[in-house]
Amino acid sequence: MDRKEFIRLLGIGTLGVVALNQLGCSKADQQPRIDFYIDTTDPLYFSLLNTGGYVYVNGLIIFKGIDLNYYALSQYCTHQGCDVTYQVAFNELICPCHGSQYDINGQVTMGPAIAPLYQYVTEVVSGTLIHVFTP
């Protein structure tokens, strides 16, 4: 799959992402290398202003945890690929399909999933921009 096709599949450009600087595959873990910014002043991302709020962007779930930090992980459950949700009451990611649960760093706390969710780095820059990137 070439870069253009990958970007088209991810829907990048229609989600309000400010920039996508790098895209490729890490040889170490085969996770896509991600590097983009989310502008929380964009109405698409207003939910991130609230503790427990989350959005899906480019295959990632991005949420504001109870510690007020932002987290970004693969949105796809490692069991069979359903979209996980962030449940602020439990401070965990939960898969609605078969009940797998993950901690906020993507580690499995309850199966049937076995493998963790891949975690990306988030960094708040200039107050309203969240930089999301591969570690």
Question: Quick check: bond before 43 cis, omega within 30?
Answer: no
> Smallest gap, in angstroms, from Cβ of residue 33 to ligand FES?
25
For residues 114 and 62, what is the distance between their CA atoms, to the nearest angstrom? 21
> Smallest gap, in angstroms, from Cβ of residue 82 to ligand FES?
4
97 lies in the site for ligand FES, by CB under 6 A: yes
34, 72, 95, 117: residue in contact with ligand FES (rule CB under 6 A): 95
| Binding characters for ligand FES, 1-40, by CB under 6 A (x = yes) | ----------------------------------------
61 lies in the site for ligand FES, by CB under 6 A: no
Backbone φ, ψ for residue 12 (5° rounding): -65, 140
- Is the Cβ–Cβ distance between 61 and 86 less than 8 Å? yes
113 lies in the site for ligand FES, by CB under 6 A: yes
Contacting residues for 112 by C-beta, under 8 A, at least 6 apart: 79, 98, 99, 100
52 lies in the site for ligand FES, by CB under 6 A: no
98, 107, 110, 115: residue in contact with ligand FES (rule CB under 6 A): 98
CA distance to 9, 35, 58, 106, 124, per residue, from 96 (Å): 24, 28, 20, 16, 29
59, 65, 112, 116: residue in contact with ligand FES (rule CB under 6 A): 112
- Is the Cβ–Cβ distance between 100 and 9 less than 8 Å? no
Contacting residues toward ligand FES, per CB under 6 A: 77, 79-82, 95, 97-100, 112-113
